[in-house]
Amino acid sequence: MLIIRPICASDIDALMQIAVESGHGFTSLPVNEELLTKKIARAESSFNKTVTQPGDEGYFMVLEDTETGEVVGTCGLEAAVGTADAFYHYRLGTEVYHSGQIGVRNEVETLSLCHDYTGAAELCSLFLRQSYRQGNNGRLLSRSRFLFLAQHKARFGEPVIAEMRGVSDDRGNSPFYGWLQENFIGIDFVQADYLSGLGQKSFMAEMMPRGPVYVCMLPKEAQEVIGEVHSSTVPALKLLNSEGFRNRGYVDIFDGGPTVECRLNDIRSVRESQSLVVEVGEQESTGASYIIANSEVAQYRATEAQLDVTDESESVVISAELAKALKVKSGDTVRILAM
């Protein structure tokens, strides 16, 4: 069985391996054991924290194959970005230049450094190991977060955003970042991305261009990747688009990848999820496929199961094995979502 659960200290070796496999451009998982150990400790604190309003909490989860005990994937939620560290984006805009004297009107696209998403919740750290990229595994890993959001709305800011990985090559070189490196920052993309992942972001404010950047003055290869995603990120973007996430004109300051957003209550999976009462018994094996999650925080568990329910159902029968995996008993509440 594949179970999603909060990460714990004993997962550090598996997380280090996943950080290596995730490659360049996966900012939230730098290959740094000290940082990843702190990330785990922060997640443990967040899951056990009593929250009255969203702040600097990070809910980092892993996908575990219970048959082997192997951690095969990760996913996460940030409660409110920018509350502890500066959270930068480029905002795409347009400046209009017009002269009646010469009869010329030009619209020029610009990039302006901003902090507009401060306080937003964020979907992050989604990674599934190659050998498990089959069936519904990726969908389970990604969409399970929406059940957590639906169950614990008070823990998260608005809107919910996701930064999509931008275009880079196998060596981690970003066409968009090339002009920044040459004219402003002076360090390569891999190093800048790594420092950002470590939380060492002061160089951004010190070295990034302070005024609007005119897109037409960038190299053509940089212009062409603004708002585009890495080939490996296309499936994740399609899934988020189907949930109602849209790009509102914000891109990453390093690789130019798009940031998409949606109001929490407008996310399709949040709207369509159902809260049901558990009955432990003889479970039908002919039902449809659902993601099912308990209603806990520190003991959060989610998995995929065949369930016999309808839109009008108020309860759901699950097997003793599934109840044990989800840490629930008869009378407890679970949240389900059709796969």
Q: Which of 158, 155, 142, 126 is nearest to 57 (CA)?
A: 155
Q: What residues contact 226, with CB distance under 8 A and at least 6 apart?
A: 92, 111, 176, 215, 251, 256
Provide the pLDDT for residue 198: 59
* Rounded CA separation 32/18 (Å): 12
Size of the chain, expressed as the number of residues it contains:
339
Catalytic residues: 230
Residue 285 has pLDDT above 70, yes or no: no
CATH architecture group of domain 273-338: Beta Barrel (2.40)
Provide the pLDDT for residue 29: 78
Provide the pLDDT for residue 326: 96
| pLDDT band at residue 253 using 50, 70 and 90 as cut-offs | confident
Provide the pLDDT for residue 30: 77
Residue 81 has pLDDT above 70, yes or no: yes
Do 15 and 78 touch, CB atoms closer than 8 A?
no
* Rounded CA separation 286/252 (Å): 45
Provide the pLDDT for residue 310: 81
Provide the pLDDT for residue 21: 86
| pLDDT band at residue 174 using 50, 70 and 90 as cut-offs | confident
Scanning the structure block, which residue is given the tokens 């400046």? 95
Domain at 2-89+115-269: CATH code: 3.40.630.30
Read off the pLDDT of residues 175-214 as tens digits, 9 standing for 90 and up. 888 887 777 777 777 777 666 665 655 666 677 777 788 9
| pLDDT band at residue 303 using 50, 70 and 90 as cut-offs | very high
Provide the pLDDT for residue 148: 97
**Tokens linked to 57:** 């909490």
Domain ranges of the chain: 2-89+115-269, 273-338
In terms of pLDDT, which residue wins out, 273 or 29?
Answer: 273
Mean pLDDT score of the chain: 89
* Rounded CA separation 335/278 (Å): 10
- Alpha-carbon torsion angle 140, 236, 276, 265, nearest 10: 160
Provide the pLDDT for residue 192: 72
Q: What residues contact 324, with CB distance under 8 A and at least 6 apart?
A: none
End-to-end CA distance of the chain: 16
